[in-house]
Amino acid sequence: MATRLITAPVAEPLSLEEAKAHLRVDHTTDDSLIAIFLQAARQDCEEWTQRAFITQTWEVVIDEFPENEILIPRPPLQSVTSVKYDDGAGVEVTLSATEYTVDTASEPGWIVPTLSGWPTTFDGINAVRVQYVAGYATSGNSPDNLADNVPGPIKAAILLRLGQLYEHREDVIAGTTALALPNGTQFLLRPYRMALGMA
């Protein structure tokens, strides 16, 4: 199983203003740098938890349909956009949404065939491709409210990681090992962490 990002989030879980307030920065000189660090902090926390925080589109690729369900990495799952596969002749086919059921309540989410099982696929690699939308859902797509439903502890963890990145501009600090995700950040994120190997 492999995953790839199709459409990145259009916003971060925290605004630049919130990030600067946490860093106690009251000038604009470092705004671009802080924005870069904010994105990096969010991605670090997403990788550690194996989650998607803000609405984004992913694709999971497998060589063939499984016997039963297809688990969808990087919860929370909002919706499945498409299920495509290469048939026995190697021709791409898009399954009708009536041919499978999507469970968005479970974490991770999953999909199962509705009737007589999954179709037979081409005997090759990456024959099945599921595109889906993940992230904490919102009532609208405005960048102003995309982060409304991101849990507070996740936002706090991102701020801790942001502070570490902003304070330490080098990969290795003299007398220490390379920067890892801080213990406090891990503590905040632990309740949201998925089992390893899900991504």
Q: What is the CB neighbour count within 10 angstroms for residue 81?
A: 15
For the entire predicted model, the pTM comes to: 0.86
Superfamily of the domain at 2-53+141-192:
Phage gp6-like head-tail connector protein (1.10.3230.30)
Q: At what angle do helices 152-167 and 16-23 cross, to 10 degrees?
A: 60
Which of 67-71, 140-144, 179-183 has the weakest average pLDDT?
A: 140-144
Measured between alpha carbons, how far is 170 from 55 in angstroms, rounded to an integer? 31
Q: Is the pLDDT of residue 139 over 80?
A: no
Report the 10 Å Cβ neighbour count for 112.
Answer: 14
What φ, ψ does residue 117 adopt, rounded to 5°? 100, 175
Minimum mean pLDDT among 4-8, 99-103, 110-114, 133-137: which range?
133-137
When mean pLDDT is compared across 15-24, 44-53, 111-120, the lowest value belongs to 111-120
Q: What is the pLDDT of residue 1?
A: 85
Place of tokens 């660090």: 37
Domain residue ranges of the chain, discontinuous segments joined by + = 2-53+141-192, 56-134
pLDDT digits (tens, 9 = 90+) for 157-180: 999 999 999 987 776 555 555 567
Q: What is the DSSP letter of 149?
A: T
Q: Which residues, including other chains, have CB under 8 Å from residue 24's CB and lie 6 or more apart?
A: none
